[in-house]
């Protein structure tokens, strides 16, 4: 695959939406989320004649509640293979061919559900209802204050991270594997009840993973609430193109098609500013190795994130639902290369600063600090509290719809 990332144009997409008004009423206490149905049967997918692609289903593990978690192996006709499970829609293994055609698992994760239940860096997960942080777990819609239980406190400052302690990454989703000729995938669906993790409204959600013969992993997110509520869905897969638990990602070369970013405070909450990256260690508008500037002394933003952990703003975001390129990642040694295309206006580049050797992966090897990176397409963090960010509020009955593609290849 060729890097079709061309010269970057400037052009700030600034959207202005209505401000949150002062709180008047308290939202009722969050309801207890009922159990999601447990999928147990093995659904066989009819293989397409003469196709190298296939989908197979098998038992993965039991979770701590004794529920069965299933695994779906998507074997792409182009060589990429992924194992995904219906617990959080997690990608547990991602086999990517290198420039010599040798495949290696290039994602972080665990062999069992217990790993995901005890250590939780959101490896490979669908994230909902709200990707990244909401300051103090509070927001106001139409004068009503909603209080989300907080589950994270960088810098000692509490917030709601990735949809809360029992976010969509911990749900057992209904799953329907499918094959259409050389294209394979899984459709995940779930219902998030009114009050789930403190959020208003019931939400019907559908996340479709498709693996194409061109080695594109497409993720289509759909969600329909029955009350006005914020929604911001993403995928939290961690990549290491050297292979799982094979050192750090500091030698990977990253391009971000983003000429601006949203700086954060000590709690990793956006300050509300949208600032140019030019002249800072955050300028990835041309390719740079991640390790080159990650430890720049005196850079307050890198200090807060303990490295890169920031939302970048696409220079040329999607128009009319067309995908726009957000990023490219390249590892010279293996030749593995990836582009990220999306309908979202932002992308969180997180270089694994919370990873430690206490996390032991699938090969029984400890992960390293910065042993994987995530490129999470999204609306900006804390948007419900940031009037100058694009709005994440979805109206009752409105269909929230976004698409992201991870396009794999070699160079
Ligand atoms: C990222 C977030 C990081 C960290 C990580 C999970 O999306 O930006 O700050 O919370 O998820 O460990």
d(CA 22, CA 394): 20
- Please compute, for residue 92, the number of CA atoms within 13 A of its CA located in the half-sphere on the CB side: 24
Interval 78-107: pLDDT, tens = 999 999 999 999 999 999 999 999 999 999
Compute the distance from residue 397 Cα to the ligand 1 centre, in Å.
30
Of 132, 157, 235, 346, best ligand 1 pocket probe by most atoms within 8 Å of the beta carbon: 132
CA separation, residue 134 to residues 96, 306, 317 (Å): 34, 20, 23
Q: Please identify, by atom number, the ligand 1 atom nearest to the C-alpha of residue 309.
A: 8
Compute the distance from residue 353 Cα to the ligand 1 centre, in Å.
8
pLDDT interval class at 120 (50, 70, 90): confident
Q: Which residues, 6+ apart, have CB-to-CB distance to 184 below 8 Å?
A: 45, 53, 54, 55, 74, 75, 76, 177, 178, 210, 211
Nearest Cα neighbor of 8 from 192, 268, 284 is 284
Interval 331-347: pLDDT, tens = 999 999 999 999 999 99
Interval 353-397: pLDDT, tens = 999 999 999 999 999 999 999 999 999 999 999 999 999 999 999
- Give me the DSSP letters along 198-253: G-SS-EEEEEEEEE-TTSEEEEEEEEEESS-EE-B-EE---B-TT-TTSS-STT-E
Of the residues 162, 236, 252, 310, which is catalytic? 236
Active site residue 288: no
* Phi, psi angle pair for 154, to nearest 5°: -60, 140
Compute the distance from residue 350 Cα to the ligand 1 centre, in Å.
7
d(CA 73, CA 399): 29
Interval 201-252: pLDDT, tens = 999 999 999 999 999 999 999 999 999 999 999 999 999 999 999 999 999 9
Ligand 1 proximal residues by C-beta, below 6 Å: 121-122, 132, 161, 268, 309, 348, 350, 354, 374, 376
Compute the distance from residue 390 Cα to the ligand 1 centre, in Å.
21
Strand pairing of 144-147 and 25-26? Answer: parallel
Least confident of 40-54, 142-156, 317-331: 40-54
Of 265, 305, 310, 350, best ligand 1 pocket probe by most atoms within 8 Å of the beta carbon: 350
Interval 6-34: pLDDT, tens = 333 333 232 222 223 333 466 665 444 44
Minimum CA distance residue for ligand 1 atom 1:
350
The structure tokens 């900006």 sit at 380
Strand partners, 221: 207, 402
Q: What is the pLDDT of residue 3?
A: 32
Tokens of 127: 């994230």
Interval 159-169: pLDDT, tens = 999 999 999 99
Minimum CA distance residue for ligand 1 atom 7:
132
d(CA 60, CA 40): 11
Nearest Cα neighbor of 94 from 408, 339, 333, 411 is 408
The predicted model scores a pTM of 0.92
d(CA 103, CA 100): 9
Q: Which residues, 6+ apart, have CB-to-CB distance to 153 below 8 Å?
A: 159, 267
Tokens of 66: 């004794």
Q: What is the pLDDT of residue 21?
A: 33
Minimum CA distance residue for ligand 1 atom 8:
309
Q: Please identify, by atom number, the ligand 1 atom nearest to the C-alpha of residue 381.
A: 8
Of the residues 244, 339, 344, 376, which is catalytic? 376
Compute the distance from residue 26 Cα to the ligand 1 centre, in Å.
29
Compute the distance from residue 180 Cα to the ligand 1 centre, in Å.
35
Residues in the chain: 411
Q: Please identify, by atom number, the ligand 1 atom nearest to the C-alpha of residue 127.
A: 7
Q: Please identify, by atom number, the ligand 1 atom nearest to the C-alpha of residue 132.
A: 7
Of 108, 119, 122, best ligand 1 pocket probe by most atoms within 8 Å of the beta carbon: 122
């Amino acid at each position: 695959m060729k890097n079709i990332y061309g010269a970057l144009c400037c052009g700030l997409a600034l959207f202005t939406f209505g401000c949150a008004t002062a709180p008047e009423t308290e939202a009722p206490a969050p309801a207890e989320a009922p159990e999601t149905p447990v999928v147990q049967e093995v659904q066989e997918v009819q293989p397409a004649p003469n196709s190298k692609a296939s989908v197979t289903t098998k038992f993965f593990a039991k979770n701590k509640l004794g529920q069965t978690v299933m695994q779906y192996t998507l074997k792409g006709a182009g060589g990429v293979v992924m194992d995904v499970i219906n617990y959080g829609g997690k990608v547990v293994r991602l086999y990517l061919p290198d420039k010599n055609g040798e495949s290696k698992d290039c994602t972080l994760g665990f062999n069992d559900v217990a790993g995901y239940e005890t250590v939780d860096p959101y490896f490979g997960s669908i994230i909902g209802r709200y990707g990244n942080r909401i300051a103090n777990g509070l927001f106001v819609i139409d004068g009503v204050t909603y209080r989300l239980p907080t589950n994270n406190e960088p810098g000692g400052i509490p917030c709601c991270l990735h949809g809360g302690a029992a976010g969509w990454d911990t749900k057992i989703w209904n799953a329907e594997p499918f094959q259409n000729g050389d294209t394979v995938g899984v459709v995940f669906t779930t219902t998030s009840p009114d009050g789930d993790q403190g959020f208003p409204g019931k939400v019907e959600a559908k996340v479709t993973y498709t693996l194409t013969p061109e080695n594109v992993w497409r993720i289509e997110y759909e969600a329909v609430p029955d009350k006005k509520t914020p929604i911001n869905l993403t995928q939290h897969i961690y990549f290491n193109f050297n292979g799982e638990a094979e050192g750090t990602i500091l030698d990977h070369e990253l391009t971000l098609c983003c000429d601006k970013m949203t700086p954060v405070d000590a709690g990793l909450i956006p300050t509300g500013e949208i600032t140019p990256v030019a002249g800072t260690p955050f300028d990835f508008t041309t390719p740079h190795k991640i390790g080159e500037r990650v430890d720049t002394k005196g850079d307050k933003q890198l200090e807060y994130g303990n490295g890169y952990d920031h939302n970048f703003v696409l220079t040329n975001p999607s128009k009319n639902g067309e995908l726009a390129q957000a990023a490219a990642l390249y590892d010279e040694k293996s030749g593995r290369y990836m582009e990220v295309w999306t309908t979202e206006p932002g992308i969180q580049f997180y270089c694994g600063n919370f990873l430690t050797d206490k996390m032991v992966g699938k090969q029984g090897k400890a992960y390293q600090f910065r042993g994987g990176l995530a490129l999470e397409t999204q609306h900006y963090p804390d948007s419900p509290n940031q009037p100058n960010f694009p709005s994440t509020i979805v109206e009752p009955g409105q269909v929230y719809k976004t698409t992201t593609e991870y396009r794999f290849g070699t160079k």
